[in-house]
Chains A and B, each alone.
Chain A
Amino acid sequence: MSTAKAQLEKLPRSIQFVLALGAIALAAFPLLPIAGSDFYLGMLSQMMILAIFAMSLDLLQGVSGLVSLGHAAFFGLAGYALAFMTPADAPIALWWSLPAAALAAGLAALIIGFFVVRTHGIYFIMVTMAFAQMVFFLFFDNKALGGSDGIYVNFRPDATALGIDLESKTVFYYFTLVVLIGLYFALRRLLFSPFGRVLAGIRVNEHRMRAVGYGTFGYKLTAFTLAGALAGVAGYLWAAQTGFVNPELMGFHMSAHAIMMVILGGMGNFAGAIVGAFAFEYVMHLFKDMTKHWQLLMGGFIVLVVIVAPRGLLGLIDRYSKRGGKA
């Protein structure tokens, strides 16, 4: 089904160059005079967090061929975990609360995954969505869990044990950047590990993998759990950054946005997820600044991308750089 989209699994030079350029730009950004306003730092931090979220979904969607329309559940759950763990009058230590939140999200993914990974294709899309709705309503309908209004995260997590102060916007920015780049390389490593190869094999032909002797259920469940935990890392950072969580974080639209980010950038190589997250958010901000009818432009943009760039933005870069090389 997605063989055509996995052509960029091994990234060509041109794309590696673009990525390196992007990383340098992100690292240099806080040094520029424009960064003086906290607004752009915060916006870019959010984009990086969404890029982590999109990468976690790509592990399912692009690598394993499991399209989850409920991935935001784990993103939101970890955010709520941080909100509940943080006491009313003091910050919480980062070094154990981040793993704890990711673990909580991973555990939820393990339980939900047990139900959903037995289904295939379009069923998987719908079933993941339904489970995410279940989580959504659990929080939405219960005042004890914050209800529809959500809850505040009173303090940013405390990372003084690591020698950094996350209260500073710049420090938080660099922390997020380091997490993003670290996870990117970890996931790239995973992609070409035996585990990653089995997942890719499942995407291409699950029946064959089972015939060869792999217990595909276990592999898929592991991937689902891992992706849930990584989405948890993103959700934790999101809650820490905004200081606020509400059920929308776990909602249908959040999940759908993640899917669009991954498709927009190009699936199955994690780089596309990052590019897609930045592009999607940037375009959305652009349209929102332009008109109050931004949804019309956004919808048109999405439809256009499906029609003209079936392999995503990375696919476009690849195509044009090749054409340029030949000329």
Chain B
Amino acid sequence: MDFANFLIQLLNSVQYGLLLFMLAAGLTLIFGIMGVVNLAHGSFYMIGAYLAWYFTSLLGSLTLAIVLGTLLAVAFGWLLEWLLFRHFYHRDHLDQVLLTFGLIYIFEEMRSIFWGDDVHAVQVPELLNWSIPLTDTLSYPVYRLVMSAVCIVLAIGLYLLISKTRLGMKIRAGAFNRDMTESLGVNIRLIHGVVFALGVGLAAIAGVIASPIASVYPGMGSSVLIMCFVVVVIGGIGSVRGALVAALLVGLVDTFGKVLVPQIAGMAVYMLMALVLLYKPEGLFKQ
């Protein structure tokens, strides 16, 4: 592998890692703060991607689709939290597993009813549809770089929100001791709604911005969900910092695994996970 090729793979793996981080951060936040196991998290990614495709083909603009798609997905998440999830905070994890598995069925079928079972492609917007030359023969698409930049901005935003703002302080306090925080006058109900919508929003944005480079297809949620689990387990459940490190690690192993040892590419990340668990049974950054 020459240097330019290596660089491309490196950029690809970082970009994939950042995308995974957006998904895993939402999953781990929802679990860490509300104690809810959400198997339907992958469905929000799928919904984001389908909304992006739908609005792009309707309005002809990905930028508009991103805004509308994200807003709709967040609103949907908020509604779902209010209708269903808030009744399950104190229930057994198993009940949550069952509930969210039922939801996967429902979302998949709704997707099929509304948007059909075809595979769709989303056009990269004109403005970003060009490449940066690396060598005479190799170049790298700008859209992927912009995508990574968006993920980085959102990750920093998330970090600032949780560690620096008043809302973030309340979120952390609520995760640490719910009853105490509530008796200090914090509206935990509202905080939970915000965190859930935030998690759903992150997953949906990931789906929206990934839509032009990964095609939009039925069942796209479940494969991504499983990857999210791996990231969350490696990073340590509930830890956003762990999710970032683990997502980048998984991105690297997956991308270079496919290039260097295609025979075991599908297994590579799971092997990484087993290795990590052997030394750190509770993940790299235990909360």
Which A residues form the contact surface with B (CB < 8 A)?
1-2, 61, 67, 69, 115, 118-119, 121-123, 125-127, 129-131, 133-134, 137-138, 140-142, 252, 256, 259-260, 263, 293, 295-296, 298-303, 305-307, 310
Contacts and interface: CB of A to CB of B under 8 A. Distances in A.
A127 B105 contact: no
Contact of B264 (A115, A141, A263): A141
Contacts of B213: none
B109 A299 contact: yes
A306 B99 contact: yes
Given A127-B273, A299-B105, 7 more contacts: A123-B237, A134-B274, A137-B267, A260-B98, A296-B113, A300-B102, A310-B95
A129 B92 contact: no
Secondary structure of the B side of the interface?
helix
Interface stretch (B154-162, B179-187, B276-284): B276-284
B121 interface: no
Interface string B210-240: 0000000000001000100110110001000
Given A295-B109, A296-B105, A302 B98 contact: yes
A129 B229 contact: yes
What bracket does the count of chain B residues touching chain A fall in? 35 or more
Contact of A121 (B93, B229, B273, B281): B93
B95 A134 contact: no
Contacts of A61: 94
B97 interface: yes
A256 B112 CA distance: 21
Interface in B180-215: none
A135 to B, nearest CB: 9
A17 B217 CA distance: 48
Contact of B106 (A118, A122, A263, A296): A296
Contacts of B109: 293, 295-296, 299
Given A130-B229, A260-B101, A67 B94 contact: yes
A119 B281 contact: yes
19 contacts: A67-B97, A119-B277, A122-B37, A123-B233, A130-B230, A130-B274, A133-B226, A134-B267, A134-B270, A134-B274, A137-B266, A137-B270, A140-B266, A141-B266, A295-B106, A295-B112, A298-B102, A300-B106, A303-B103
